[in-house]
Amino acid sequence: MSLPLSRRTFLLGAAALPLAACAGPAGGGGEALRVAFASGGAKETLDPHVLPLYVDQARAKACFDTLAGWSQQMTAEPRLAESWEPDATGKRWRIRLRRTAFHDGRPLTAADVLYSFRRIADPATTGIAAALFRGVDFAASRAVSGTELEIVLGAPNFLFPLSWGAPGAEIVPQGTTSFANPIGTGPFRFVSFTPGGPARYAANDAYWGGKPPSPELEFVPIQDEEARLGALLSGQVAYAHDLRAPSAVRLERDSRTRVLSAPSAATQSLALRVDRPPFTDPRLREAVRLGLDREALVRIVLLGRGQVGNDMFGRDLQYYPSQIPQVGRDVARAQDLVRQAGAQGLAVELQSSGADPTFDPATAVITQQLAEIGLRVTPRTLPSDGYFKQIQKVGVFSQTSTGTLPIPDYIGRRIVSSATSYRFTGFTSPEIDRLYAAAVGTPDEAARTAALTRIQELLRSESGGLVWASRDWDVGVAAELSGIDAARPNTAAWARFDTARLG
């Protein structure tokens, strides 16, 4: 069985990388393109509706496609859907599909879209986008023709097209139940895959967006960030995903490589469980909030490659309430809150993992900062494989991160009571549920903005989610790699290799 590479594995012999089965060196135009991501281990799947890690989403993007994609500004732009329009109520959407085919030659049809949405919404699928499609009335929705369909919703949603571009909203052929040999409409056809090991794809000559210039695409699992860096510098791969700030600085000084940097593209957070001791006490939550030195975290951990967080998701995106005053550090007030809670010297475990390259260095700094307010933080590094599911299940105080999402999508997928994925703090609020329904159910942009702003205020004060930074998203690429741009994660342009070319 192939295993993700550690730093030790790479340093002992770069030639041992699991690349030999894919012909052609990393360099040279028109040859195999190898890209390195942290992997999810032996439990990985190619089911595009169950995508816990970035590598899962990138593989899905190679093989499948969605009705819409997200622009860098987090608006919906057409992909498999050529056009769409709602009725006056916002409950009925007419969608027209582009004429294209799956890898096995079957044409894409309205029935495939309806099947995919139904499968995503099915609780048995455990799809990460399920909350976004549970409002669909599938009994009333219908195929108007082979390339046109009508989706009926149980409640108004004038932002519904945003859901079509979400990770986990890929369109699969009607009746698909197994993804051992996945078939999609994407730019690359599936060749082979080993969970925790490499995934190989071949160019789809009939891709609707044009034949990819790279005839082969291989996802190489390299768990350790330093090992990904080494693989890029040695020419073993041409793309190294999600690098820490020190690595990005190093690559910027090396003529063999370039850095693609998307500003403020990832939200770095701490999740304090409001439904599990000790953070059921709001005084302790506020103490941690005031005990964080966010400026120091950005300076030390991110080397200034990011912006200080303000305990709200989506900095610089549409609907972000930038008028809310910035939270600052107040050690004296934090110490007083710890004393009031009777928690002086309390030992608190902070969960971290290699799933995000900033988690461990941030944990070291946060441990020191919270010691100053009277809390004894004990770092605990969990396996990357299943980390986010694990902290949702048993976490109390955890490092989390989120790529770029439209703010309405973030709320609808992770915050409302009906959401089941990524609920890291255990917070629910009937008021937020009401405000979210009002925000998506009105065509009035001012009313929508007001409702979403109020949600952000409630999350900031009550949810247990503390955003300490919005960091730049840094990807390292070989100097000769073209056709790929800096992009915020989760957008249509992120991890898209159908125009990438070496040489």
Q: Please say whether the beta carbons of 26 and 235 come within 8 A.
A: yes
pTM: 0.86
Decide if pLDDT at 116 tops 60: yes
Determine the average pLDDT of the residues in 203-211: 97
Q: Which residue's entry shows tokens 């709001």?
A: 282
Give one DSSP letter per residue of 92-118, joined into a string.
EEEEEE---B-TTSPBP-HHHHHHHHH
- Residue 460 to residues 43, 267, 363, 368, Cα–Cα distance (Å): 34, 14, 21, 24
Decide if pLDDT at 13 tops 80: no
Mean pLDDT of the chain: 92
Q: Please say whether the beta carbons of 151 and 431 come within 8 A.
A: no
> How far is Cα 59 from Cα 118, in angstroms, rounded to an integer?
22
Nearest to 488 by CA among 289, 314, 231: 314
28, burial (CB in 10 Å: exposed 0-12, middle 13-18, buried 19+):
exposed
Confidence of residue 384 (pLDDT cuts 50, 70, 90): confident
Q: Which residue's entry shows tokens 């078939």?
A: 183
Percent with pLDDT over 70 in the chain: 94
The counts of H helices and E strands in the chain are 15, 19
Q: What is the dihedral of CA 282, 313, 50, 18, to 10 degrees?
A: -110
pLDDT of residue 30: 66
- Residue 337 to residues 301, 466, 467, Cα–Cα distance (Å): 27, 17, 20
pLDDT 10s digits, 252-285: 999 999 999 999 999 999 999 999 999 999 999 9
Confidence of residue 418 (pLDDT cuts 50, 70, 90): confident
> How far is Cα 327 from Cα 398, in angstroms, rounded to an integer?
20
**Domain locations in the chain as residue ranges:** 7-59+186-238+480-502, 68-164, 263-472
SS (H, E, C) 159-179: CHHHHHCCCCCCCCCCCCCCC
Q: Is the peptide bond before 278 cis (omega within 30 degrees of 0)?
A: yes
Confidence of residue 28 (pLDDT cuts 50, 70, 90): very low
Provide the 10 A C-beta neighbour count for residue 23: 10
> How far is Cα 436 from Cα 319, in angstroms, rounded to an integer?
13
- Token pair of 238, please? 């041409």
33-37 vs 239-240, strand pairing mode = parallel
Q: Is 49 helix (H, G, I), strand (E, B) or coil?
A: coil
pLDDT of residue 7: 40
Determine the average pLDDT of the residues in 60-84: 96
Strand boundaries in 62-152, DSSP class E: 68-70, 76-78, 81-86, 92-97, 142-145, 148-152
pLDDT of residue 119: 98
CA 78 to chain centroid: 20
pLDDT of residue 18: 40
Return the axis-axis angle of helices 407-414 and 445-462, rounded to nearest 10°.
50
Q: Give CATH superfamily name and number for 263-472.
A: Dipeptide-binding Protein; Domain 3 (3.10.105.10)
Nearest to 65 by CA among 54, 81, 76: 81
- Token pair of 329, please? 């550090």
Q: Which residue's entry shows tokens 């499609």?
A: 133
Decide if pLDDT at 120 tops 80: yes
Q: Which residue's entry shows tokens 């690595």?
A: 247
pLDDT of residue 19: 39
Q: Which residue's entry shows tokens 């169950």?
A: 50
> How far is Cα 316 from Cα 488, in angstroms, rounded to an integer?
12
Q: Is 428 helix (H, G, I), strand (E, B) or coil?
A: coil
Domain formed by 68-164, architecture:
Alpha-Beta Complex (3.90)
Q: Give the chain's length.
A: 503
Options 3.10.20, 3.40.190, 3.40.50, 1.20.120; CATH for 7-59+186-238+480-502 is: 3.40.190
